[in-house]
Structure 1
């Protein structure tokens, strides 16, 4: 009795993916709704409030110094080795490669470039906004602080806001932004929030950022994700442009491969279908010598008249025994006077009487 193989969970996943050879139609593109506009406005106000609190050296700056003097890496040294690896989830290079690999596979399966283009736009916005804020405010980190209790602003630093935290919010939050179902969006939003929260607190534990840097990094990354629907028309136009260039390049390659090969025209010949302008064609050395130096048996003067075609009349078939031999019968060797036939004794000359 033959039994069927029981499908594993991985087999069911690949079977489901094989049923989606084309771009899914149920994927909804996020729009700039009223709810999203309210969240964006509230996050922007929170961002400005954090910056203002640090500038005026409020209670938030005092909290930064208290956490720095607490030195968490000395309080819990047993988790230091693990957090050194965990903080990599907020570095731009490794996280961008991992997320781009996943989104590239999704782009190939769904026949769309939107996931990769959305990631590229979000990272570009992250570099511009966070980089400009870092350079503009120039805050020094805890390891380079000069005056106890000061905000350490405009002293040539580049840690405000936290780039690790903002990068974790954007790179892992883009997975939730591009989710195809509401349930997947909720789960991915929770996962990205946990990862970005852990990365931010890890930088405070190690001592590379103030606590206010991390809070501002969360706000900076969330602003980019909330404002991303405004760039969806740009993403659509760029995708259409790239696909049009791909189709044009493919058609150009197919046209080049199927183009007919034109025969070279004779030198000085009249215009024809193969030689529209009568351009002299290149000739081989044999043709050149035959044209420039005529043979001795051909007359030099006078035009060459074409020979008439000779039509051969078919002859009746005759057997081989009745055909006339092409060569004479007998030996083909020329006669030799001094050659002696084998088997005969040569005559001796007679001498004397």
Structure 2
């Protein structure tokens, strides 16, 4: 009989009971407040208010020219907001957790969040068609409905969702606090980096933060569907295994 520590740890669930986040009153209040903030940013840009003027002031200030020594390291840092590399990194970690805990939930939650991100952010990007700072045509204009796709900032929203999902799936309050702080710092840094590089307006980033946060806050509504999907997938796996055994 194997008694070494690796044998005891082999695919042993950790922890034995995983608490699934619920849609609490606090979460509902945060979701409502973030929704109001999201709509306020969209209206402010549509109406070409003071927010658009701030966008132009920051753009014309050209931070990448003011502090050129930051350009090289921030070019690497902003990758933490790119969907492909971040999805692969986080999926690898959550895949290991799924294997250890005998559950597909971590991967299904990630997949659900990324699907919601692509649909919601992509639809607004295409619908509003805003041009980025490097392609702007008229000073003071919101540059909407011009065939662009940068409002809200996809890098920023992706950083919020991809790294925030680690906090959402944390199994202890302490881990949740640390991961929440870490994901917030990364998302804040990625958003501000896109402004520094001149690839996004400041309002793009504000809307990206709100868009990503809305997805994280709304995930508990998706948990019943995620649970049913897991049962269906595992049942299909078991049926396939049974057929393979019968075919031997």
Tell me which interval the TM-score lies in, with the shorter structure as reference length. Answer: over 0.9
2:114 matched to 1:123?
yes
In the alignment, which of 87, 98, 104 is matched to residue 96 of structure 1? 87
2:40 matched to 1:49?
yes
In the alignment, which of 24, 27, 40 is matched to residue 18 of structure 2? 27
Q: Deviations over 1:196-255 (max 9, x none)?
A: 100001100000000000000000000000000000001100100011011111111111
CA distance in 2 between counterparts of 1:146 and 1:79 reads 27
The answer as to whether partners of 1:27 and 1:181 remain within 8 angstroms in 2 is no
Aligned to 2:160: 169
The answer as to whether partners of 2:64 and 2:71 remain within 8 angstroms in 1 is yes
Deviation of residue 22 (structure 1)? 3.3
- Please state which structure has a larger fraction of its residues in helix: 2
Aligned to 2:241: 250
The answer as to whether partners of 2:45 and 2:51 remain within 8 angstroms in 1 is yes
Aligned to 1:221: 212
Q: Deviations over 1:69-93 (max 9, x none)?
A: 1100011111110001001000000
2:143 matched to 1:147?
no
Deviation of residue 19 (structure 1)? 7.5
Q: TM-score, normalised by structure 1?
A: 0.67
Give runs of aligned pairs for residues 285-324 of structure 1, distance below 5 A: none
List, as ranges, runs of 4+ consecutive aligned residues in structure 1 with deviation greater than 2 Å.
14-17, 22-26
User: Which structure's relative contact order is higher, taking Cα pairs within 8 Å and 6+ residues apart?
Assistant: 2
What is the total number of aligned residue pairs between the two structures? Answer: 244
Deviation of residue 16 (structure 1)? 11
Deviation of residue 24 (structure 1)? 3.5
Deviation of residue 58 (structure 1)? 0.8
The DSSP-based 3-state class of the residue aligned with 1:32 is: coil
Q: Deviations over 1:84-124 (max 9, x none)?
A: 10010000000000000000000000010000000000000
2:228 matched to 1:237?
yes
CA distance in 2 between counterparts of 1:17 and 1:77 reads 53
CA distance in 1 between counterparts of 2:130 and 2:236 reads 45
2:190 matched to 1:190?
no
Indicate how the Cα distance of structure 1 residues 246 and 23 shifts in structure 2: closer, same or farther if over 3 A, else same.
farther
Aligned to 2:129: 138
Deviation of residue 20 (structure 1)? 6.4
2:54 matched to 1:63?
yes
The answer as to whether partners of 2:27 and 2:217 remain within 8 angstroms in 1 is yes
Q: TM-score, normalised by structure 2?
A: 0.96
Aligned to 2:147: 156
CA distance in 2 between counterparts of 1:83 and 1:113 reads 35
Deviation of residue 23 (structure 1)? 6.1
The answer as to whether partners of 2:114 and 2:161 remain within 8 angstroms in 1 is yes
The answer as to whether partners of 1:55 and 1:151 remain within 8 angstroms in 2 is yes
Task: Specify the structure having the higher radius of gyration (Cα).
Answer: 1
CA distance in 2 between counterparts of 1:61 and 1:51 reads 11
2:186 matched to 1:208?
no
CA distance in 2 between counterparts of 1:25 and 1:39 reads 30
